[in-house]
Structure 1
Amino acid sequence: MSKVKLKNGIAEQVVAKRLWHLGYRYRKNDKRLPGSPDIAITKYQVAIFVDGEFWHGKDWEHRKSRLKRNREYWIQKIEENMARDARVDQELRAKGWIPLHIWEKEALKDTDACIDAILSILIEKYE
């Protein structure tokens, strides 16, 4: 677990650089916001989280059944992460922000689709 990078991962960098080149300015890991979003586009009040599939419970019911070692610990840990994500999203919405979660592998494999999803939210919010 010591090798797990919490900030500025490759997928996060790819998404952030693409947004920057498109002219969208942002703050990274803004501690003023709940959950310190990976990318916070303050002008549009959009908080983007680039989430790791394992740590944030993608396909959790399927993955949970496949856990073998230290099963109780990992189930509790990941379900706490999922509950925290939901709580942070609720806090952001209460402040008028739009939370957006992108899976790390999707950000790396299909960056264009992720950027299109972000841009559609930005355009929809300010039409």
Structure 2
Amino acid sequence: MPYDMFDPQKRSEIMSNIRSKNTKGEMIVRKYLHQLGFRFRLHGSKLPGKPDIVLSKYKCVVFVHGCFWHAHQDCKYYRDPKTNQEYWIPKIQRNVERDKKAIYDLTAMGWKVEIVWECELKKDAEGRLNDLVSSIRSV
């Protein structure tokens, strides 16, 4: 079994501090859209997948995905977990399947779905955000 540099109690503490809402990436996207005058709702609980950002005027939703949690393939921020693989790999795979279903359902309902990956914001945030705005407005 691969070595974990933290004991189980410390690892549990670290993992419990990871949030699913109001992540750094999500805050960057929200701030940018708001500065440009977009108005939106957060965490659309009435829509499949509870999109992070819902732009009803444009019938567009935005998911801001962490590369690790959503298994962003060919990304330097995603790698299979080294420890407790029996738990983590199926969990991440469930996230991916849930994402696919939400995208399918939203598209079937007539919504445009945009996904912003954590790595895109780290590599070229301005470029990715400009592309996002163009895509939203093209609806």
Please give the per-residue CA displacement for 1:90-115, whole angstroms capped at 9, x wherever unaligned.
11001110111111232244221221
**Aligned residue among 86, 106, 111 for 1:97:** 111
- Quote the residue 2:5 is aligned against: none
- Quote the residue 1:38 is aligned against: 52
- Quote the residue 1:7 is aligned against: 21
Please tell me the residue identity of whatever aligns with 1:94: A
- Which of structures 1 and 2 has the larger relative contact order (alpha carbons within 8 angstroms, sep 6+)? 1
Extract unaligned runs of 5+ from structure 1.
none
Extract unaligned runs of 5+ from structure 2.
1-14
Aligned structure 1 segments of 4 or more residues deviating by more than 3 angstroms:
none
Change (3 A) 1:39 1:10: same
Instruction: Confirm or deny that 1:51 pairs with 2:65.
Output: yes
Change (3 A) 1:12 1:92: same
* Bigger Rg, which one: 2
Change (3 A) 1:15 1:108: farther
Once the two structures are aligned, what percentage of the paired residues are identical? Answer: 39
- Quote the residue 1:63 is aligned against: 79
| TM-score, normalising length: structure 1 | 0.87
* Residue correspondences, number: 123
| TM-score, normalising length: structure 2 | 0.80
In structure 2, C-alpha distance between the alignment counterparts of 1:52 and 1:22, rounded to whole Å: 24
